[in-house]
Chain A
Amino acid sequence: KAGVTQTPRYLIKTRGQQVTLSCSPISGHRSVSWYQQTPGQGLQFLFEYFSETQRNKGNFPGRFSGRQFSNSRSEMNVSTLELGDSALYLCASSLEVAGVSGELFFGEGSRLTVL
């Protein structure tokens, strides 16, 4: 069974540009969440999607956005990149059965460097 797949794995952008990251969850998982990991702030929650609806949102500016497609694949977008957006962006998926949240499974992450 394939795990959570994130693309691209590495990317370099310059300030002011925008970036789109992609996440394919484990087959059958409808919940997808995104996290930003930096040495200074640790792992911080960005947002969570379930069945194409944003269910939760973290405390990030509106430059950070996401969406989920009918096949549960998800994308996140960061516009007007800043140096501080350099981070490892992690996607996770989980299976929910009868409203019970299951184990969180992570992808390998997308390493974004903003110059």
Chain B
Amino acid sequence: KQEVTQIPAALSVPEGENLVLNCSFTDSAIYNLQWFRQDPGKGLTSLLLIQSSQREQTSGRLNASLDKSSGRSTLYIAASQPGDSATYLCAVRGTTSGTYKYIFGTGTRLKVLA
């Protein structure tokens, strides 16, 4: 059974700092992995999607890496800004019919201080 863990659960950093958010999964047979941000009371906003054959994806100040063999993904945020404050979630999609659904981590609540 796939389990997705995100550590730390909460993080507070000063503005301008580079930071790394972690996502671990127990079953390496994944189809893809996606990172999202969620603002309070809102839906999820897609940040980056990494297919299983890819090692990383970049969008602006964000870079996500994927290491299937170790069951890990990291989201790197460069030069953090107060507007980056949100909860960040990762989700993995399995490859077989019984697991072909997204399993979400519990998220990392990020606060960037001005």
Does B34 contact A58, Cβ atoms closer than 8 Å?
A: no
List the interface of chain B (C-beta within 8 A of A): 31-32, 34, 36, 41-46, 49, 51, 89, 91, 93, 97, 100-107
Kindly count the residue-residue contacts between A and B in the assembled complex, taking CB atoms under 8 Å apart. 54
Contact, CB under 8 Å: A43 / B101: no
SS class of chain A's interface: helix, strand, loop or mixed?
strand
Whole-angstrom distance between the alpha carbons of A100 and B31 in the complex? 9
Interface of B is mostly: strand
Contacting pair B102 A104 (CB below 8 A): yes
Q: How many residues of A contact B (CB 8 A)?
A: 26
B87 to chain A, nearest CB (A): 10
| In contact, B43 and A43 (Cβ under 8 angstroms) | no
Are B101 and A103 in touch, CB under 8 angstroms?
no
